[in-house]
Amino acid sequence: MKKKPFKPFNFDGKCIDLSHDGKGVVKYQDLVGFIENILPDEEALIEVTFIKKDRFFGRVIKITKESPLRVKPKCGIYKKCGGCSLQHLSYLGQKEFKRKKVQETLKRIGDIDIEVSETVGMEPPYHYRNKIQMPVRLSKNGKIVSGFYQENTHDIVPVEHCSIENKMADQILTTIKQLMKKYRILPYDEDRRIGVIRHVLIRNSYYFNEVMVVLVTNCDTFPGRNNFVKDLKSLEPKITTIVQNINSRDTNVILGEKERILFGPGFIKDQLCGLTFKISPKSFYQVNPTQTEVLYQTAISLADIKKSDLVLDAYCGIGTIGLIAAKKVKKVIGVEIVKSAVIDAKNNAKENGINNISFFEGDAGEFIIKKHQEGIHFDVVIMDPPRKGSDKQFLGTLLNAQPKKIVYISCEPSTLARDLKILSSNYEIKKAIPVDMFSQTFHVETIVLLCLKDAKKK
């Protein structure tokens, strides 16, 4: 017997909470729904568009009772894009949402009952991103467009101006699309796997007048490239380097392995906490420069490091936080699995004249085991792992090595909670401070201080 097609229906509902990704939690009978653009205590007419087991999906037709925390989003395509899912929530509300999110996640996943500090915010909470990377495609009417992928799709929402990205990058991207049209350089077609430019990556320095443009192409060379670069330099004189990155693979990974410098040195420089850092196309460098300084200064302050301390900077990237900490301690050792990042880190140490820091390429877990076997004991470990968190080997080694303090910097509360649950067998969690690095979005960075239990007796 054929299943009857689902028929959408409406009901009057009330939002009782926000999910981890900022969607409104609404109940209908025994079902729970996650609805965009509705805030706690708001009432609305809601259309149920799909039901799956004990969940339903739908949309707000009309808000009938507004929250006092609701504000008008600055972005005209806010509802379509989905990149800034909290723009309808006041900034005070956003900060509290992130604090509560960290606290509840630590409790639910890590069984960690701690009063999380107030979220450290920024003003103004807009136009903070120093890096954009946008896909470039041909629209149905033949226009070259760039933008963001709509949530859960590969459809591009065209973006001309973004309220969280650097305004200069918007202008440069517009110029690139105009030049593509002028020189008949086709954007990449994912389905047919033809065309030239797949993505455009733009990075700008906060402290220096330097801008990098990376053209991610499907091919090694393309007609009109030299004239394209010449015109781009002329029309956008703030650009200090242009790099072509070649990625011909059928993949969601944006950057390929091969690069060619088309103009300038192939990198830009920026400053953090008084130190200068070289940033290449593949360098990991936090996207919010002002809040990165707050993040690192807060982390180092929490660690309360001493001049006699030996510090391990695990997952060190291009060496940012380790180099900032180095002037306060005896020595810093940084370890990072990405070879290009280690090269950048060593160059950054040389650039800043810092001699009490060493960088090594390798797995953080294996590295600390080796150093432990050599009798080298770290007083403080600063760890800033990727979104997936740390691995059990590294965490187990930390438990055996017993540094006096661990400062864990995390961009994902769920993996943070999972890892802290493991470390809490030997460590007391003293403080958790959320830092708003990604205003208008549901993402949050968190700094946690862990101190070895009975450290004085050990």
**Would you please indicate which residues are annotated as catalytic (active-site) residues?**
411
89-103 b/e (C-beta count within 10 Å ≥ 16 → b): bebebbbebbbebbb
As a whole number of angstroms, the distance between CA 164 and CA 82 comes to 13
Tokens of 402: 């017993």
- Residues 6 or more apart in contact with residue 373 via CB below 8 angstroms: none
CA R_g for the chain: 24
Phi, psi of 357 (to 5 degrees): -145, 140
C-alpha distances out from residue 349 to 91, 269, 344, Å: 37, 13, 9
Tokens of 135: 């896909």
| Collapsed DSSP state (helix, strand, coil) of residue 226 | helix
Q: What angle do CA 219, 224, 229 make, to 5 degrees?
A: 90
Instruction: Provide the pairing of β-strand 239-246 with 211-217.
Output: parallel
What angle do helix axes 392-401 and 364-373 make, rounded to 10 degrees? 30
- Whether residue 395 contacts residue 408, with contact meaning beta carbons closer than 8 Å, is answered with no
As a whole number of angstroms, the distance between CA 96 and CA 359 comes to 38
As a whole number of angstroms, the distance between CA 334 and CA 315 comes to 7
Tokens of 78: 């806010």
Tokens of 18: 């926000």
